[in-house]
A = this chain, B = another copy of it.
Amino acid sequence: MAAPESAPAASARTTPDATRRSEKSRRAIYDAALGLVAEVGYAKTTVEGIAARAGVGKQTIYRWWSSKADVLLEAFLDLSEQAAREAGQAPYVIPDTGDVAADLRAVLRATVDQLRDPRFEAPSRALAAEGVVNEQLGRVFVAKLLEPSLRLYVDRLRAAQRAGQVRADVDPRIALELFVSPLAQRWLQYTGPISHEYTDTLVDYALNGLAPR
């Protein structure tokens, strides 16, 4: 009797051959997806609309992705990688000038600026929202996009611990949330305005504590 695995197309719907994949279509789909999300928002972006704008058949999308969220996630990952490459030599690290407070202030100010970049705003907000409600996507979003950035904070805080600027007993992964999460929540949930002063204040409070010294 035949091995249960060797059947070419028993259960699965004949996995497509990735080597024949059209790179042009993939790019066009990414561009269309990001463009539509930026222009009309995530909810009004449809697979049909992406296909039409990309000049692609719907099946070409469904062949390679499972859903609108999936397309957008990959498109956004691609955009991020691209942006990272463009950023060039100043890459995946938080500067270490020796003054952890100043360094954190600087990187948070840069984050504030990026959160306001309309190129990123719509898709990242859309993905974050979908991730809230779609746990599977949310975890991928966090793992692929959020955690890599948070890891930089962990590294910088560890260096600060070695330099004696941060208590040795704090868990850096938790510590970073004291200034990152407030910014994230204000951005995501409109719970308050975002500004350089605000993030500066967060760094101050977090490092020095709310209690008097």
Hey, which bits of chain A sit against chain B, CB under 8 A?
Answer: 41-43, 125-126, 128-135, 138-139, 141-142, 146-147, 150, 157, 164-168, 170-171, 173-175, 177-178, 180-182, 184-186, 188-192, 198, 201-202, 205-213
Please determine whether B205 and A142 come into contact, CB atoms closer than 8 angstroms: no
Query: What chain B residues lie within 8 Å of A125 (beta carbons)?
Result: 132-133
Q: Give the 10 A-B CB pairs with smallest separation, nearest first.
A: A209-B209, A177-B182, A129-B132, A129-B133, A181-B181, A181-B182, A181-B185, A208-B209, A207-B211, A138-B190
Bound-state Cα–Cα, A41 to B89, Å: 44
CB < 8 Å neighbour of A205 from B135, B168, B178: B178
Please determine whether B210 and A170 come into contact, CB atoms closer than 8 angstroms: yes
Instruction: Looking at the assembled complex, report how far the CB atom of A7 sits from the nearest CB atom of chain B, in whole angstroms.
Output: 10
Bound-state Cα–Cα, A211 to B175, Å: 11
CB < 8 Å neighbour of A142 from B175, B181, B191: B191
Please determine whether B128 and A132 come into contact, CB atoms closer than 8 angstroms: yes
Residue from A134, A167, A180 having most chain B Cβ neighbours under 10 A = A167
Query: What chain B residues lie within 8 Å of A175 (beta carbons)?
Result: 205, 210
Bound-state Cα–Cα, A170 to B208, Å: 11
Query: What chain B residues lie within 8 Å of A129 (beta carbons)?
Result: 129-130, 132-133
Please determine whether A210 and B207 come into contact, CB atoms closer than 8 angstroms: yes
